[in-house]
Structure 1
């Protein structure tokens, strides 16, 4: 038995050498920690996840942080979840592990996690930016920064030119305006086109199910719900099986690689979360993120955000009389729902009668057919439309 074990170890060494010769890469395997306390399914489920990952992948090592358990694992013993998190941070700071998967972590404001799910319609992976944490207390600013974080993660996963979609939620049109200006200023990225007939970079539910973009931009609360739905829609919600979890925390200047899973996450998902963390570690996500934020800042990221998120002088605060009513059949899309009524009043100020409405793609402003072009020009000039 001992002889077979030695032969197996020798075979592993030769396999590593062969792989190194093939790829030209002899780098030491990254080590990924896994805290085993805290799961609703018990320590056994976490160990099962580690066993799955070990059997499925052989290009990274797993370090268990928790109680002593059976099995051929490198274990750092701790007494409880709190001690486990402290030890996890120590190991990350010392470089003994290059990343970690855990159920909970207190990220600072400015950092949120970039999740990864497998979509049911196509089986494609979809990066969701973001899923936990708070990138900014301003919703629109947060979603813009989430886009940069999502791009960094996608590139660390080997997607050289990731496509970006913006989920059709409150603030989406403002985010689109900011990202378009950032792109025009030299920050390189690609917008995805919705699979719906009218296209555009603002994505609908269909695009979620098919993973139309590589990266879907949203706020963390929405992203959190999406990960839960995608990961456990076949199990009733108390056992997450599909995808790779809530992902690594990313933000400008952040230097720890901590991937989040839920207390309801099951072994199949945690196995993929370990793989996700290992890939991000091996491809230096922290450095990639630093580079992406540097390029975005060079393109004027902060100034563009400030300009587009500052309080506008609202027409509602002025004494504006509504022009005489008329038939309005010309629809103008691309107005954020949070600014819809103010956009209408901006047109009233220019003596153009308008009404707000909701089209199949989202909020719209309705004006007369003869005033459509002029109305669009006014809304662009006043900053309500890009």
Structure 2
């Protein structure tokens, strides 16, 4: 999940479409940067001329440079330095925008209480600024820390007794990127190994960048230990970053890439089909042989066996229901990552996070993600390493 995901390259844009796209981006930028500027600088603050001028130049310069930095940072031949600046800028302005809007409630309350400008506007400015600073510092610490373990029991009626208590660790959305998090990656792997899992699954969005750029950060994944297997499927960000090369690299690290296929794991006489499908954006990516295909993933599987399906996006649960999957595990949403972005996520996805039921048989577990995309902040949406314990019976 990310702001950048909504911008996909097209071979040829018609002039009218390009104009509409440009107008939409301009409107978004004016709102994102303009609302905080109005609240903190203009409004009724009546700052001295030098303060007003400095604040205006700061916001105008940020708004003008942001598209350039974002393009330089996230285009095909991207610059990590530009990406770090642009991503951080996006996080900061998002928080300022949200709390500037909410500051309007305080402004109204102060007006009703008879507080006049400039005291009223300066009070709002102070409150918005303090809240933004606190949330950004806390959000940065949350984003950079090794994820907490979230433990969830999942009852699967068709699961055989021999697999009761099977421990599945879910990693997803690690998003190794412009900020080098090799140390963080090693910390995640240490936590996973302490859980002594039977199966470890990574449901995509490993990195933002090619294998050659993110090799150091991804290397610790080769040290993950699991009794029955390590499995992986592609996320949408792999299709911005050399999907087939990531599939091959994960195989080189000892992971089974479930590229529209399945394997069967067995313990104490009971078996489980572990299947995986490509991300739903795969077909439109132009990468040969990549597309979401539930039928191919389950071809030849014993229909009497329970099925655990890896699929990057919760939205792919529609296909899981149609094919009688017992449990789908996914990521992609990041739990919204930065409140209140989760309201926008829910416009595209059926679930934000946690365990949910779909149809008569299928359950879906959606992780908030192990890492973060873009802005190095997590606000009211903590990351997670998920320990799913599968239970036999109702």
Shared fold per TM-score greater than 0.5:
no
TM-score, normalised to structure 2, is: 0.23
TM-score, normalised to structure 1, is: 0.24
